[in-house]
C-alpha cells in the first residue's frame, strides 16, 4: 500500500493562554497542501521494520509509534514501512504528524479494522497535537492544543498558494519561549471570510514576532514575497517555512 502524506499550512495562529498542564491553548485554521507530500509504503512483514529515506530522523519515528499504538490496541501484524521524506522537517508544515496519521489510516485499511475517522482521530491525537487534523485532511479550525477540530467551509480555489521552505530550523520549544499569550480582537473565522487582500494586517501568526526577532532573514523573506505581489504571506506554524497566496 502506497500513500502520500501531505503538508499543511496554518492560516493565522493565535496563542491564547498557557494551561496548567504546561501546554498552550491555540486557535488556528489548518489548511491541507496536497501538492507537497511525502511517500509512505506499508508492506505486511514477519517483523516490524522502519526505513526512512532522504532524511536523518533520530529516535523512534512517528510512523513506528503509530504502528505500536495500533498493535497495542488491535493486535495487528507487523509491517515494513518505507518513508521517503519530501516535506521539509522543522518547517511548521506538519510532515511528521501527517506521516503518523496516514500510517494509522493505512493500517486501518490494510488490516480491515473499519475504524471510523472519529476513532482514528482520537488515536492520532495521542501521537501529536496536530495529527488528528490529517485524518480528516480538510480545512478545519483547531483549538485546545490543536486537537479540538471543527470543519470550516473555506477554500483558496482560484488563488495560487506557494510554499517557501527556509534553511533556518526553528524548534517548537524555542518558538513558544518567546510568546506572550493573548486573545485577539478579531478571531480567525471572521478574518478569513474577508477578501484575501484584507488579510495582511488582520490574519496574524503569533510566533512571527519572536521568531523573526531571532531570525531577521525570515522577516526579510516574507517582505520579499509582498514585494513580488503576494496578496498574503505568513510563516506556517512555529516556522520556519513561509507561504504566499497570489
pLDDT of residue 174: 78
Does residue 141 sit in the same domain as residue 211?
no
In this structure, the strands spanning 24-37 and 49-53 are unpaired
Confidence of residue 140 (pLDDT cuts 50, 70, 90): very high
* 24-37: strand order across its sheet: 6-18, 24-37, 140-143, 148-151
User: What is the domain extent for residue 187?
Assistant: 161-245
200 is catalytic: no
The active-site residue, picked from 8, 99, 206, 222, is 8
8 is catalytic: yes
pLDDT of residue 129: 84
Residue 58 reports pLDDT greater than 70: no
CATH number for 175:
3.30.70.890
Q: Which residues contact 82 (CB under 8 A, 6 or more apart)?
A: 39, 40, 41, 43, 51, 53
Q: Provide the number of structural domains found in the chain.
A: 2
Does residue 124 sit in the same domain as residue 225?
no
User: In the chain, pLDDT over 90 holds for what percent of residues?
Assistant: 78
* Tens digits of residue pLDDT in 96-120: 999 999 999 999 999 999 999 999 9
Does residue 123 sit in the same domain as residue 26?
yes
| Average pLDDT for 220-241 | 96
The active-site residue, picked from 38, 99, 130, 206, is 130
* Tens digits of residue pLDDT in 8-27: 999 999 999 888 887 789 99
What pTM was estimated for this model as a whole?
Answer: 0.93
Does residue 135 sit in the same domain as residue 30?
yes
Amino acid at each position: 500500500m502506497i500513500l502520500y502524506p501531505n503538508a499543511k499550512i496554518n492560516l493565522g495562529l493565535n496563542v491564547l493562554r498557557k494551561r496548567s498542564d504546561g501546554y498552550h491553548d491555540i486557535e488556528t485554521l489548518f489548511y491541507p497542501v496536497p501538492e507537497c507530500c511525502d511517500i509512505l509504503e506499508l508492506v505486511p512483514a514477519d517483523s516490524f521494520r522502519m526505513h526512512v529515506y532522504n532524511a536523518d530522523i533520530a529516535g523512534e519515528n512517528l510512523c513506528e509509534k503509530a504502528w505500536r499504538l495500533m498493535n497495542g490496541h488491535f493486535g495487528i501484524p507487523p509491517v515494513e514501512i518505507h518513508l521517503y521524506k519530501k516535506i521539509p522537517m522543522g518547517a511548521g508544515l506538519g510532515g511528521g504528524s501527517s506521516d503518523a496519521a496516514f500510517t494509522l489510516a493505512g493500517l486501518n485499511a490494510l488490516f480491515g479494522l473499519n475504524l471510523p475517522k472519529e476513532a482514528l482521530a482520537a488515536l492520532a491525537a495521542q501521537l501529536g497535537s496536530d495529527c488528528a487534523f490529517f485524518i480528516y485532511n480538510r480545512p478545519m479550525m483547531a483549538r485546545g492544543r490543536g486537537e479540538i477540530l471543527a470543519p470550516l467551509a473555506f477554500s483558496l480555489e482560484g488563488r495560487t498558494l506557494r510554499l517557501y521552505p527556509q534553511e533556518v530550523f526553528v524548534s517548537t520549544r524555542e518558538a513558544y519561549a518567546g510568546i506572550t499569550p493573548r486573545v485577539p480582537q478579531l478571531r480567525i473565522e471572521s478574518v478569513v471570510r474577508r477578501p484575501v487582500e484584507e488579510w495582511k494586517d488582520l490574519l496574524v501568526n503569533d510566533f512571527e514576532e519572536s521568531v523573526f526577532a531571532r531570525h531577521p532573514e525570515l522577516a526579510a523573506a516574507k517582505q520579499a514575497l509582498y514585494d513580488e505581489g503576494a496578496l498574503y504571506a505568513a510563516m506556517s506554524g512555529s516556522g520556519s517555512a513561509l507561504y504566499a497566496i497570489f
